[in-house]
Structure 1
Amino acid sequence: MLRPSSLLPAAALAALLIAPAQAEVRVLTSIKPLQLIAAAVQDGAGSPDVLLPPGASPHHYALRPSDIRRLGEAELFYWVGPDLESFLPRVLEGRQAPTLSLQTLPGLHLRRFGEEHRHTDADEHAHGAAAQAGHDHDDHDDHDDHDDHDDHDDHDDHDDHADHADHADHADHADHAGHAGAGDDHDHAHRPGSLDAHLWLLPANARLIAVRMAADLAAADPHNAARYRTNLAAFEQRLAVSDARLKARLAPLAGKPFFVFHEAFDYFEEAYGLRHAGVFAVSAEVQPGARHVAAMREQLKAAGPSCVFSEPPLRPRLAETLSAGLPVHLAELDALGFALKPEAGAYETLLETLGAELAGCLERL
């Protein structure tokens, strides 16, 4: 039994009993993949929220009053940058809390449309070194001053699934890389030389993003700093395992032909030695003419047995039109992880699911 002298004063004991638990840091990300990375880092100390609902386009999204409120309440906000979420720069001008456009993160590997795959393991080592040194927070308020990315207004087409309800009647599917020869709809095509903002699909970039998030969370919540460091180490270990598994499965598939409806996967392709044979860029405004459809079918005929990948939630009707009677397999690639819950391990599942979807089709050729 404790002696009276060892007991806490009644007032102090009462204060301990009613003291609130450490409040979690309110983390908000613009899109689901960033939420998945944040969930791995914050695991056990909080649950990050995501701004865009499933199926919404980061290029054409219209913020609701509740979205504005969540932006105001978030203590940390992460977005890719104006080359993806073109509706956000103006909204973020008045935000005071820490905000990071990830396309400005030091050491990140960025691609531009039309450039050859050139990422190497040496690049990844360089990125790792940069990650250890690059925890400065000076760019938290850097929402609009992206001099290196001033062509972001040209990226109205990305889209990541926004207007997929329209894809059933789809429109001008030009292969802007020059394969189909009808890519004049620049409002719906990634222009050569413009920034490819799908940067989360490179594992080395995801690691750098996680490193930065862990540093930011530790600064905002020192009480849980050790947990964030532990979570980061676990994420890095899981990511390394997934990366090795993907390389082993996808390496034998290099050179097998596949086509996509949206040029969203170049970072992933670069990481694993793949390269799409053509892109059928999507537009919902102009129905493809017979000549254009014929040109695209000629591409597929020339390729022989191949895969054509659309993105969920809906497959463009044009996919069936193009592939009818040809040795073409139709499948899906999900760059955003629609069905994944934001929890530790979900980002790696996103990558492995992409790899499995690619391999599952290409291995049949």
Structure 2
Amino acid sequence: MKKNTRIKFKRLSRFLKILSPFLIINGLILNANANIISSVKPIAFITQAISDGVTNTDILLPDGTSPHTYSLKPSDLAKIKTAELIIWVGEDLETFMPTVLKNIDKNKQIELMDIPTIKSLLRTSTNNHGQQKTHTHNNDYDHDHHGEYDEHIWLSPKIANEIAQAVHDKLISIYPDKKGIFDENLNEFTVKLAETEQNIAKKLINVQNSGYFVFHDAYGYFESQFGLKNLGSFTINPAVQPGVQTVYAIKRELKEHQAVCVFREPQFSPAVIEKIVNGTDVRIGELNPLGTDITLSKNAYSQFLLKLTQQLLDCLDKKLM
């Protein structure tokens, strides 16, 4: 070997030794990004239960943001491009997703609203399950974008089982050697959810005749399954104070329907709600349909449903007052 060649070889060896840790770190970063992404947190609760022990679950929308109005950041697009699987609800809920996903392999996506077993369980946006419900809207209100069907499907334990099955089947196609883990995770999830449903039914049986109003008509699946008495909904923009006529109209509705509670959500201004219930006997409660206060874990979905149940009881159950 010539002298110049030996010098070049030694330099290349030294360079590769210096570079190798960076290559390893970069590989780990790429591998860490190659995971599962769920659009909203409650879907991630279900996904995490099935993927636990094999791969990471990430959530696209940060806490406190709405899937109706969220704008993707460059970092979100980077996550989507490197993900092995993207799970989202549907284009009427996450209006920004179809454009982003048009160049992503269809085999790397699950659009939940398109799954036949989920389609058969959907309720329409106007399906009130035989109850006389009031939907009050005027110029003071901020309307969510709703399609033909109610897309808050994560609030249905029945649909949650179908989501878990779909995620399970897709993960097996990605990681066929991990089938045993996914099978065990799915079985655990199904058994745990059945126990949780029984627990919730027992807890809510005494408040099924207690009428209430919500500001966001998101809870239809949950209410239908557990026989709750939602009298109506108002979708208030917290940035806009309701006018005098609006406040009067809502108060009249509350009295006429003999509501026990009005439920706000974390993003709504307490001052607005207090103004509406002032002079009535109606109590104020809080519901969190996105589980923003729940930590992502294997049992997070059941924790989410139980927390929602407790929030309902805290306001509806007179014995707890």
> Do they superpose with TM above 0.5?
yes
Q: Does the alignment pair 1:188 with 2:138?
A: no
Partners of 2:124 and 2:248 lie apart in 1 by 29
Structure having the larger proportion of residues in helix = 2
Show the 5 A alignment for 1:78-117: 78-96=87-105, 97-108=107-118, 109-117=121-129
User: Does the 8 Å contact 1:28/1:78 carry over to 2?
Assistant: yes
Alpha-carbon deviations, 1:74-123, whole Å to 9, x = none?
111000011110111111111125101101111111111221328xxxxx
* 2:151 is equivalent to residue 197 of structure 1: yes
Identify if the C-alpha distance between structure 1 residues 186 and 99 changes in structure 2 by more than 3 Å, giving closer, same or farther. farther
| Counterpart-to-counterpart distance in 2, 1:70 and 1:267 | 31
Q: 1:185 to 1:298 in 2, by over 3 A?
A: closer
**Map of 2:213 onto structure 1:** 259
295-304 vs 46-55, greater mean Cα deviation: 295-304
Q: Distance in 1 between matches of 2:52 and 2:165?
A: 14
Q: TM-score scaled by structure 2?
A: 0.83
TM-superposed deviation, 1:249: 1.4
* Cα deviation, residue 27, structure 1: 0.5
**Which has the bigger relative contact order, CA under 8 A and spacing at least 6?**
1
TM-score (ref. length: structure 1)? 0.73
> Partner letter of residue 101 of structure 2?
L
Looking at structure 1, the residues matched to 270 and 187 of structure 2 have their Cα atoms a distance apart, in angstroms, of 41
Q: CA–CA distance in 1 between the matches of 2:116 and 2:140? A: 33
The structure-2 alpha-carbon separation of the partners of 1:346 and 1:313, relative to structure 1 and needing over 3 Å to count, comes to same
Q: In the alignment, which residue of structure 2 is the partner of 1:268?
A: 222
The structural deviation recorded for 1:325 is 2.7
- Alpha-carbon distance in structure 1 between the residues aligned to 2:185 and 2:315: 34
CA distance in 2, matches of 1:338, 1:262: 16
**2:304 is the counterpart of 1:350:** yes
Partner in structure 1 of residue 162 of structure 2: 208
In 1, Cα distance between equivalents of 2:164 and 2:138: 37
Q: Is the 8 A contact 2:141 2:236 kept in 1?
A: no
Indicate if the aligned counterparts of 1:81 and 1:101 stay in contact, CA closer than 8 A.
yes
- For the aligned residue pairs, the C-alpha RMSD in angstroms reads 2.4
1:77 aligns with 2:86: yes
Provide Cα deviations, 1:1-38, integer angstroms capped at 9, x if missing partner: xxxxxxxxxxxxxxxxxxx99x7861111010111101
Cα drift, residue 301 of structure 1: 2.1
State the match for 1:227 in structure 2. Answer: 181
CA contact (8 A) 1:266 1:275 kept: no
Equivalent pair of 1:309/1:331 in contact (CA under 8 Å):
yes
- 1:1-365 to 2 correspondences below 5 Å: 26-96=35-105, 97-108=107-118, 109-117=121-129, 178=134, 180=136, 182-183=137-138, 188=143, 194-283=148-237, 287-304=241-258, 306-364=260-318
Distance 2:92 2:212 in 1: 26
CA–CA separation in structure 2 for the residues paired with 1:257 and 1:190:
26
- Residue by residue over 1:312-343, the C-alpha shift from the partner in whole angstroms, topping out at 9 and shown as x without a partner, is 14444211011123211111111111121211
- In our comparison, the structure showing a higher alpha carbon Rg is 2
Instruction: Determine helix, strand or coil for the equivalent of 1:259.
Output: strand
Conserved? CA contact 1:308–1:329, under 8 Å:
yes
1:165 aligned partner: none
Change (3 A) 1:28 1:238: same
Relative to structure 1, the CA distance from residue 288 to residue 117 in structure 2 (aligned partners, 3 Å threshold; closer, same or farther) is same
Shift of 1:183: 3.5
Partner of 2:63, secondary structure, is: coil
Following superposition, which runs of at least 4 residues in structure 1 exceed 6 angstroms of deviation?
Answer: none
Contact persistence 1:304–1:327 (CA under 8 A): no
| Residue identity opposite 1:304 in structure 2 | Q
1:54–1:285 CA distance, 2 compared to 1 (3 A): closer
- Structure 2: distance between partners of 1:78 and 1:63: 16
Which digits, 9 at most, give the CA deviation of each residue in 1:242-289, with x for residues without a partner? 000111111222121111110011111011011311212223575422
SS of match in other structure, 2:230 = coil
Verify the 8 A CA contact 2:238 2:272 in the aligned structure 1: no
Count residues in correspondence. Answer: 286
Task: Tell me the amino acid that sits aligned with residue 62 of structure 2.
Answer: P
**Percent identity of paired positions between Structure 1 and Structure 2:** 35
Contiguous gaps of at least 5 residues in structure 2:
1-26
